[in-house]
Amino acid sequence: MTRDDDDSHDSHDWQRSWAVASARRLAQAIGELSFEALLDPRPIPEAGAGHYSLSFANAVAYQFRATPSAWGGVHVELGSVARRVGARPFEPADSLIQLLLDAREQLGASVEVLAGWFEEIQAGLLAESIQCERLRGRPASELASLETVALEQHLDGHPKLIAHRGRVGWGLEDLRAHAPESHARVRLDWLIVDPALTRRTGAAPDLVDLVDLVDHCCDPDERARLDAQVAARAPALAERGVLVPVHPWQWQRWIAPQFARQLGVGEIVHLGPFGDHYAPRLSLRTLANVDRRHAADLKLSLTILNTSCWRGLPGRHVTHGAAIGAALGQLVSRDPALSCVRVLGDLGGVSVPHPEYEALGHAPYRVRELIGAIWRTSAATRLEPGEVEVPAAALQQCDLAGTPLLATWVERSGATVSDWLTSLFEHTAVPLYHLLCAHGLGEIAHGQNLGLVLREGLPVAMFLRDFHGDLRRSERAPFAPGSALAGLTALPDEHLLHDLYTGYFVSVLRFVAPLVERSLGLREPEFLALLSRALRRHQAAHPELGEAFARFDPFQPAMARICLNRSRLRAAHGGGAQRPTPELGPPLRNPLATEDYT
């Protein structure tokens, strides 16, 4: 919705955008709830292939067209859903909320939890409607040509989470000012903080020079203005204080009221907005410098409920992130099998824990993560001439006519569909598998933290970023005590395998396969065969890893079904001491296990 129609939601364009967003969310919900085995669509044989039905209590039934997924569940055809009550005729259905009300018995959630979920979903529909307006009139070929950050501002949200883009805490003006789909641009607010209140990268406060990191946010003139403001507003902190950038919304909504005492006694001083302009990336709290694209990205605390949890910034992510990224970068540089992997590590960071909430011991995480900033290497510094980065999420993206962006990249590359996908798998799935088997490291490489490097449309490398919570290690990995990688969360091998299987295969490739089949003519079994062969070739090339290949077996007949929406239905998201964890559904029949793919 544009500013010209901000007083009315009844314009023709807005109604069109709302209709498209509603149809997309309804189709997504049926598909994901069927994947998580909360709904059980049944084929309608008399209607022909691809027709399904759902039956609920109170004589409510749905019908729709869909294609079954090899991973389980179905992919629902947009706009095909119809609903019937009793003996009435079927009528077109457009309400996700009505579906969830009809399915209350199957969902098994309390009224409180459902009401909170509805709140997220309604807010997400508003944001998605704005996105649909930005997509209107832009064909896939045009979207595929956008620079990385501009492309991210046109992409869909998380395909697995029904309540994605919920952003509870933001209203319409906040979406316009700060959301990626609104083409937002922000300037950072700055605080200067007594160093006794801060935690900085590494065990030693001077491991990273935060003063130099500020220069990634300010050109020399702006830096001089900022320093002058410190001298004028906070002379007692001028020599020893720590400069901390904060999101302008976070300042006015959370920091000003919750840190009132520290502001009142001068332990924290608000300096105002300074420096470069930033654009929100797909992950929302990560910002890209649009004035100087080679300057570092910034990840900031942003305490809204968005896509499963409150998006603050844990202090441990700030203090350990740079060391983890550096250690991973060194490991990757020493292994020729990982030559296509480029690590975008953290340059440094700072957090300011709230003293009173910390004193409680187990206060909700959302109030313990209110001020934090991480500077991260910009992908622009690691691209060769002729290369571009696109987020893995763009593989799942279509224009409003249903044409996938990847069709443009395949065409530009001049490669066959099979060769293009093989290159994709060899530069993403294979190195992630090698990282797991050779080094005992699992990266949850989802659509936002995995970047594809394309040259003339063909995948040639990948970027990995954001390791704080998404990089874990095997309990058996032999990292030296005290090393950054030894300090990662340790998991049993069967759990760590899902960082690859669920994190990338199920969360990204599951949604790419039907687009390839529909638009490029390569059927899902052939897609899976190409993936399987790429992994098998890697196994054959590295017989020394045979024992690890057996432990991390992506070809076993059954896999755990990791369910994010089930988790959201089990507890309200007021914010406990820890972030929620996924639930397990019934075991998943592994489509990679078939001998036909070898």
Q: Which domains does the chain have, with CATH numbers?
A: 3-152 (3.30.310.280), 185-379 (no CATH), 386-554 (1.10.510.40)
Three-state DSSP state, 171: coil
Q: Residue 200 has what pLDDT?
A: 87
> What token pair was written down for 8?
């009315």
CA–CA separation, 492 and 209 (whole Å)? 37
Give Rg (Cα) of the chain. Answer: 24
Picking from 471, 454, 338, 464, the residue whose alpha carbon sits closest to that of residue 394 is 454
Q: Residue 598 has what pLDDT?
A: 54
Q: Residue 570 has what pLDDT?
A: 84
Contact partners, residue 404, CB within 8 Å, separation at least 6: 140, 395, 396, 397, 398, 515, 516, 519
| Matching residue, tokens 């007692």 | 236
Is the whole model's pTM more than 0.75, yes or no? yes
CB 182 within 8 A of CB 136: no
Please give the order of strands across the beta sheet that includes 490-491: 441-443, 471-474, 490-491
Q: Residue 2 has what pLDDT?
A: 41
Phi/psi-derived region of residue 83, left when phi > 0, alpha when psi is between -120 and 50, beta in every other case: beta
DSSP per-residue codes, 478-526 = -PPTTSTTTTSPEE-HHHHHHHHIIIIIIIIIHHHHHHHHHHH---HHH
- DSSP lists the bridge partners of residue 272 as 190
CA–CA separation, 340 and 423 (whole Å)? 11
Q: Residue 160 has what pLDDT?
A: 94
CA–CA separation, 198 and 368 (whole Å)? 13
How distant is the alpha carbon of residue 358 from its chain centre? 28
Q: Residue 320 has what pLDDT?
A: 87
Q: Residue 3 has what pLDDT?
A: 40
Number of helices (H) and strands (E), helices first, in the chain?
Answer: 22, 25
Picking from 152, 142, 298, 133, the residue whose alpha carbon sits closest to that of residue 216 is 298
* Eight-class DSSP state of 384: P
Per-position pLDDT tens, the chain of length 598:
444 444 444 567 889 999 999 999 999 999 999 999 999 999 999 988 999 999 998 899 999 999 999 999 999 999 999 999 999 999 999 999 999 999 999 999 999 999 999 999 999 999 999 999 999 999 999 999 999 999 999 999 889 999 999 999 999 999 999 999 999 999 999 999 999 999 988 544 445 577 789 999 999 999 999 999 999 999 999 999 999 999 999 999 999 999 999 999 999 999 999 999 999 998 899 999 999 999 999 999 999 998 878 888 988 888 888 899 999 999 999 999 999 999 999 999 999 999 999 999 889 899 999 999 999 999 999 999 999 999 999 999 999 999 999 999 999 999 999 999 999 999 999 999 999 999 999 999 888 889 999 999 999 999 999 887 789 999 998 888 888 999 899 999 999 999 999 999 999 999 999 999 999 999 999 999 999 999 999 999 999 999 999 999 999 999 999 999 998 888 766 666 677 788 899 999 999 998 665 5
CA–CA separation, 373 and 190 (whole Å)? 11
CA–CA separation, 206 and 234 (whole Å)? 22
Pairing relation of β-strands 268-280 and 186-193?
Answer: antiparallel
Angle between helical axes of 429-439 and 493-500 (0-180°, round to 10) = 160
Picking from 399, 510, 524, the residue whose alpha carbon sits closest to that of residue 78 is 399
DSSP per-residue codes, 116-155 = HHHHHHHHHHHHHHHHHHHHTT--HHHHTTS-HHHHHTT-
Which residue spans within 531-582 are E strands per DSSP?
558-563
CA–CA separation, 333 and 346 (whole Å)? 17
CB 92 within 8 A of CB 82: yes
CA–CA separation, 371 and 254 (whole Å)? 9
Pairing relation of β-strands 286-289 and 268-280?
Answer: antiparallel
CA atoms within 13 A on the CB side of 468: 20
Q: Residue 9 has what pLDDT?
A: 47
Q: Residue 471 has what pLDDT?
A: 92
Contact partners, residue 476, CB within 8 Å, separation at least 6: 440, 493
For residues 134-173, b (16+ Cβ closer than 10 Å) or e, as one string? Answer: bbeeeebeebbebebbebbbbbbbbbbbbbbbbbbbbeee
